[in-house]
């Protein structure tokens, strides 16, 4: 059993700033707080608070290099949590035909 829970995952992603931080970490890789402060119109303590929240939820990991702390998305935990949500809320029978039919109709119209 992983050492994170789905509720903490959802709470961590309930804030738009944390969502954006996680997107940045996923696309740009390892990043320090000062680099993130430059992206957002918020203070360094606010970014550190959001990163702490993400770390507590198990969605980021840290690495210290001298005085700097670098943050990185914990992709394994993110994938696991998304999978847990998917399996918890996916209908037992998923009828994709309405999506396939719409896509085929759109192709015919073009």
Every domain of the chain and the residues it spans: 6-109
Q: What is the pTM of this model?
A: 0.72
The domain made up of 6-109 has a fold known as Arc Repressor Mutant, subunit A (1.10.10)
d(Cα 98, Cα 53) in Å, to the nearest integer?
A: 40
Instruction: Give the C-alpha separation, 60 to 36, whole Å.
Output: 14
Q: For residues 50 and 17, is the Cβ–Cβ distance under 8 A?
A: yes
**Count of CB atoms within 10 A of residue 105's CB?**
9
pLDDT digits (tens, 9 = 90+) for 20-66: 999 999 999 999 999 999 899 889 999 999 999 999 988 999 999 99
pLDDT in tens, 58-88: 899 999 999 999 999 998 888 888 877 777 7
* Residue 107 pLDDT class (50, 70, 90 cuts): low
């Amino acid at each position: 059993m992983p050492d994170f829970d789905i509720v903490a995952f959802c709470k961590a992603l309930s804030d738009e700033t944390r969502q954006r931080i996680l997107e940045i970490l996923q696309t740009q890789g390892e990043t320090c707080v000062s680099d993130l402060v430059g992206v957002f119109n918020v203070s360094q303590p606010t970014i550190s608070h959001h990163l702490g929240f993400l770390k507590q939820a198990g969605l980021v990991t840290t690495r210290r290099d001298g005085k700097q702390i670098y943050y990185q998305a914990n992709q394994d935990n993110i994938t696991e949590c998304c999978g847990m949500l998917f399996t918890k809320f996916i209908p037992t029978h998923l009828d994709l035909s309405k999506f396939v039919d719409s896509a085929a109709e759109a192709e015919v119209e073009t």
